[in-house]
Amino acid sequence: MSRGRSGSWSLPRPAAWLWGYYTYRVTTYCPWTARFEGLVTGLALAPNPEAVGAGQPASLEAQRAELLVLSDWVRSALAGNLRKYPLHLCDGSTRTGEQAQAHGLPLAYGGLPCEHVPFIGCHDNKTVFDQVVEKAAATETAEERMRMCVLCLALVALSQGVPFVHAGDDLLRSKSLDRDSYNSGAAVGRRLGWAVAVVTSSRAAVGMAVGRAGAMVGDS
């Protein structure tokens, strides 16, 4: 979710400040539900059994229905989150962003693409890599998780608007699942590891999540 300039909650998340609407639609289903799978991280296509207990629909049919709604959200974001833009929706209809509803809220609310700031990871939240690790099923391989991260960043980069990429997300940066790292010291919050070849599990919090042999940190 995110807040519009009036401060009221609208789609997506988490906040819109002075100059634009910040969009957080891709990996998260609803605000603050950490383990709920999203469009990129396997909802309905590669279900995570642990996510069901966190509020995710248990039946595959319900997950597919939710996946269709999320696909509408993402298409709207790719188009710039425009309230007047006609969208072809999952139910077969064509409606503008302000006419279409998703969970009782307008699908889009922006006037111009320049008001739209798409992002997934940010300074006061988990990195993209950590979100994928948390949401995707444990059976997903290291390569599949990395491809999920790439897809997340591609959706941000290709959306109409002003893309916002958190430092290190393009390097699969991890903060060891630390969400509020402002108080965790420089080793987690501000340090980046740029050299891929020297990264080990002991440096999971500072940079690349891939080791010498290509194994993802945390894989057994």
Q: For the segment 156-207, what is each residue's pLDDT rounded down to a tens digit?
A: 899 899 888 888 888 888 888 887 777 777 666 666 766 654 444 444 444 4
In a domain, 178, yes or no: no
**Helix 60-78 and helix 142-158: axis angle, to 10°?**
40
In a domain, 217, yes or no: no
Mean pLDDT, residues 101-118 taken together: 86
Length of the chain: 220
CB 21 within 8 A of CB 4: yes
CB 177 within 8 A of CB 207: no
In a domain, 135, yes or no: yes
**Residue indicated by tokens 């995707």:** 136
Q: Is 95 strand, coil or helix?
A: strand
Q: Hey, what amino acid is at 219?
A: D
In a domain, 160, yes or no: yes
Q: Which residues contact 158 (CB under 8 A, 6 or more apart)?
A: 78
In a domain, 48, yes or no: yes
Rounded Cα distance between 199 and 206, Å, is 9
DSSP label at residue 118: E
| Strand-pair category, 2-3 with 116-118 | unpaired
In a domain, 176, yes or no: no
The answer to whether residue 92 scores a pLDDT higher than 90 is yes
Identify any residues that bridge with 9 across adjacent strands, giving them in sequence order: 3
Q: Which residue has the higher pLDDT, 20 or 60?
A: 60
CA distances from 128 to 28, 131, 142, 156, 200 (A): 11, 5, 14, 11, 19
In a domain, 63, yes or no: yes
Domain count, the chain: 1
Q: Which residue has the higher pLDDT, 187 or 30?
A: 187
pLDDT tens per residue across span 54-85: 667 889 999 899 889 888 888 888 899 899 99
Within the chain, residue ranges assigned H as helices are: 49-52, 60-78, 128-135, 142-158, 186-189
Rounded Cα distance between 205 and 220, Å, is 18
State which residues form the domain around 43: 2-167
Provide the pLDDT confidence category of residue 30 given band limits of 50, 70 and 90: very low
Rg of the Cα atoms in the chain:
17
Q: Specify the DSSP element, H or E, that contains 176.
A: none
